[in-house]
A and B are shown apart, each in its own frame.
Chain A
Amino acid sequence: MARTGVLTETPALDERLSAQENLEIYGQLYQLGRADARRRAGELLEQFGLAERAKERVGGYSKGMKQRLALARVLLHQPELLFLDEPTSGLDPVAAREVQDLIRRLHAEGRTVFLTTHNLAEAQALCHRVAVLEHGRLRAMGTPEALAQQFGGVRLVLEVAPADLTKALEVLPDAQPRENGTITVPGVSRAQVPDLVGSLVRAGVGLYKVALEEPSLEDVYFALHAQESR
């Protein structure tokens, strides 16, 4: 445990203590001497932008500040392996972005970060390898790209003239309309794109936008969920 750091789902800070006290006490629990714990607490409070309010009781902090302080606590003993449970849960977008940037910095410093999240976009943005768990069972594991290829596949996104939507769906029977007026054709390879676009043009469909879209982890998750349901 001395080489790992765990960020629990709730910040689990003692709100009756100040930020400085919280960090110093945990520093000692992580086997730093009292002087080292104080110095390290000061460094981390500075690094996480909490130094000015270090002496205030944590109960008066915002949710984002508490989460930053909890992350600072995880780093007190400079662990090599970090477990972060829902690190941006409940944070506003600015605070969430700060935490995500911090996770990238931790990785850049050479630490291994094990992230648990329900936020698939966050997992896609931050993780090099992803494991999908459903009902406690491991359903898939790999890089986000590999999982996307395995379970989602690349799709073609087309924006057609609204009046030509029905005609476009007749020409491309596999296409599915989206709520925003575009249509998507799943499982398309790059080489198929010219033929598909050509068939629409020959049918006189007004075409405004053509894009190949990589599948997201969300697509992977839904594909896996659909498999489970079947």
Chain B
Amino acid sequence: MNLPALEAIVRKDLTAVARSRAVLIPLIVVPVLMLVLIPALVAFAPRLAELPGSTLSQLQTFLERAPAGLKASLAGYTPAQQIVVMSLVYFLAPLYLIVPLMVSSVIAADSFAGEKERKTLEALLYTPTSDRELFLAKALSPWLAAVVVGLLGFLVYTLVANLVSLLTLDRLLFPNALWLALAFWLGPALAGLSLGTTVLVSARVNSFQEAFQLGGVIVLPVVGLLIGQVTGLMYFSVGLVLLLGLLVWILDAAVLHLAFRLFRRDQLAARL
């Protein structure tokens, strides 16, 4: 394995991404929105309890259907505080997953379809690197960036969420096992799946925008998780996250294997 070549391609792709406003803006805006602004708003959640309306009664209905473990974790909190715990620990968990997924998708679209669009791929194909090295390097850039942004996002979220929980509950909620599993297990796995999907899409389209938009469908299962939680159909637990992560890692292997089979130098060169 030609490691210096791998490092050079990763450096090239990430430097180029850092200098593209079209790519960089979603990479900043989405994490700030998901991991700073929304959890910060949770600080105002207890006020909802003071308002006339159905928020608390909805929460009660939700808790009645919740498994015993979740009920136990909320014991000892007032209903208003339970809104804070539920929001910070459970409801916002799927939103967190959108971050590594989106970062990986944006950079993969730029790295594969974008490179085709800018007609810069051909020069890379003539370098003394194997198909495997080239694919691995091009795939590593989005995945590494997604993992790093995901973990940084987790750190920032931990700070913001702890600040909110200190103000509203007078105690720290993070880090906890559920979120550690999300950040270190399921998040990187989803970044891989998003990457593989975008690479497959990139083989069929010719522009960054097309690849980004079509590859974006991978967000739908995560949105499904969010809806599942809010409607009480399912609840994130450490066990569920570990199981989901395992399934996604297996899917990653299959999708990336398929993507690599499409990444043949001679076929790519003929299409350029």
The residues of A with any CB-CB pair to B shorter than 8 Å are 1-2, 4, 6, 8, 10, 12-17, 21, 25-26, 28-31, 33-34, 57, 70, 73
Chain A residues within 8 Å of B4, by CB: 28, 31, 33-34
CA A12 to CA B12, docked complex, whole Å:
13
- B: which residues have CB within 8 A of A? 2, 4-5, 7-9, 11-12, 15-16, 19-20, 118-124, 126-129
Cα of A57 to Cα of B120 in the assembled complex, Å: 15
Would you give the shortest CB distance from A47 to chain B, in whole angstroms?
A: 19
Question: Is the beta-carbon distance between A29 and B8 smaller than 8 angstroms?
Answer: yes
- Say how far B224's CB is from chain A's closest CB, in angstroms: 36
Please state if B123 and A17 are interface contacts (CB–CB under 8 Å): no
What is the bound-complex CA distance between A180 and B61, given in angstroms?
96
Q: Which residue among A6, A14, A30, A34 has the maximum number of chain B CB atoms within 10 Å of its CB?
A: A14
Task: Please indicate the chain A residues that have their CB under 8 angstroms from the CB of B119 in the complex.
Answer: 10, 12
In-complex Cβ contact of A1 among B8, B12, B122, B127 (8 A): B127
Known: A1-B127, A2-B128, A14-B120. A28 touches B8 (CB 8 A): yes
Q: Which of A16, A70, A73 contacts B19 (CB 8 A)?
A: A16
Q: Which residues of B contact A10 (CB under 8 A)?
A: 119, 122
Check B16 against A28 for contact (C-beta < 8 Å): no
Whole-angstrom distance between the Cβ of A162 and the nearest chain B Cβ: 52
Beyond contacts A6-B126, A16-B15, A28-B7: 17 other A-B pairs, Cβ-Cβ < 8 A, are A8-B123, A10-B119, A12-B121, A13-B120, A13-B123, A17-B19, A21-B12, A25-B11, A26-B8, A26-B123, A28-B8, A29-B8, A29-B129, A31-B2, A31-B5, A57-B19, A73-B123
Are B122 and A29 in contact (CB-based, < 8 A)?
no
B118 touches A15 (CB 8 A): yes
Which residues of B have CB within 8 Å of A21? 12, 15
Contact B128 A31 (CB under 8 A): yes
Q: List 23 A-B contacts (CB under 8 A).
A: A8-B122, A12-B120, A12-B121, A12-B123, A12-B124, A13-B120, A14-B16, A15-B118, A16-B16, A16-B19, A17-B12, A17-B15, A17-B16, A21-B12, A25-B12, A26-B8, A28-B5, A29-B8, A29-B124, A29-B127, A29-B128, A29-B129, A34-B4
Most buried by B among A13, A16, A30: A16
Residues of A within 8 A of B7 (CB): 28
Tell me the smallest distance from the CB of A69 to a CB of chain B, in Å: 11
**Nearest CB on A from B19, distance (A):** 4
A14 touching B12, Cβ below 8 Å: yes
Of A8, A16, A33, the contact of B126 (CB 8 Å cutoff): A8
Give bound CA distance, A183 to B21, whole Å. Answer: 62
- Chain B residues with CB under 8 A of A29: 5, 8-9, 124, 127-129
Q: Could you say which residues of chain A place their CB within 8 Å of the CB of B20?
A: 16
In the complex, A33 Cα to B9 Cα: how many Å?
Answer: 14
Nearest CB of chain B from residue A83's CB, rounded to whole Å = 8
Q: Is the CB of B120 within 8 A of A1?
A: no
> Which has the most chain A C-beta neighbours within 10 Å: B2, B15, B20?
B15
Q: What are the residues of chain A within 8 A of B9 when measuring CB–CB?
A: 25, 29
